[in-house]
Each structure stands twice: as C-alpha cells, then as structure tokens.
C-alpha cells in the first residue's frame, strides 16, 4: 500500500543527469522503480513501481532528482 499523505514523486532532471554508469539513486530504490532502456541513457522512474519514499533523492551526486511533495 502506498502512503496517502505527503507522498514524494521524484522525477529525473535531464539537464542535470549525467547518465552515470552506475546510478547511485537507482541503487537506493528498494522498489526497483528506476528503468534504463539503454545503459548509455539516463534512467527514468516508473511511477507504477515508485513507492514515494524519497530515498533515491539524496544519493544522486549531481542533484538530478527533483522531488515535489504531493500533499495528502
Ligand atoms: S546518479 Fe543521478 S546523475 Fe547519475 S544516472 Fe543516476 S540520476 Fe543520473
Ligand atoms: S521515491 Fe522511493 S520508490 Fe520512488 S524511485 Fe525513489 S527510492 Fe524508488
């Protein structure tokens, strides 16, 4: 069940994302919501998998994840 209050729905800022070989943000996602079609391309977040925990935001060294909070 997803949290109904204050859910964080992050998105990848493609102006900042460096398409790192190992995405630090993805490594911190326990829901495996980061998807990469091609290893050379930046990842995107599958909203159907995302649990809104926000744990992927701090690990990105390029500050490429924006995390707007949706009020519950
Ligand atoms: S760690 Fe950040 S900059 Fe690197 S691929 Fe992941 S989201 Fe992009
Ligand atoms: S908010 Fe949580 S579930 Fe969603 S992509 Fe980030 S770490 Fe994964």
Domain presence at residue 72: yes
What's the rounded Cα separation, in Å, for the pair 16 and 22? 15
Least Cα distance to 46 among 36, 59, 38, 55 occurs for 36
Residue 36 structure tokens: 């990469």
Q: Residue 5: what pLDDT?
A: 56
Domain presence at residue 1: no
Task: State whether residue 69 is helix, strand or coil.
Answer: strand
Domain that holds residue 24: 6-72
Task: List pLDDT tens digits, range 28-64.
Answer: 999 999 999 998 999 999 999 999 999 999 999 999 9
| Cα 19-23-27 angle, rounded to 5 deg | 165
Please tell me the pTM assigned to this model: 0.86
Q: Name the closest-CA residue to atom 8, ligand 1.
A: 17
CA 23 to centroid of ligand 2, rounded, Å: 13
Structural domains of the chain, count: 1
Query: Which one of 53, 57, 66 would you pick to mutate in the ligand 2 pocket, going by the greatest count of ligand atoms within 8 A of its CB?
Result: 53
């Amino acid at each position: 069940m997803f949290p109904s209050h204050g859910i964080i729905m992050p998105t990848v800022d493609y102006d900042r994302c460096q398409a790192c070989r190992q995405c630090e943000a993805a490594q911190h996602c326990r829901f495996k919501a980061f998807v990469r079609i091609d290893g050379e391309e930046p990842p995107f977040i599958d909203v159907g998998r995302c649990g809104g925990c926000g744990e992927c935001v701090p690990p990105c060294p390029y500050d490429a994840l924006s995390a707007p909070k949706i009020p519950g």
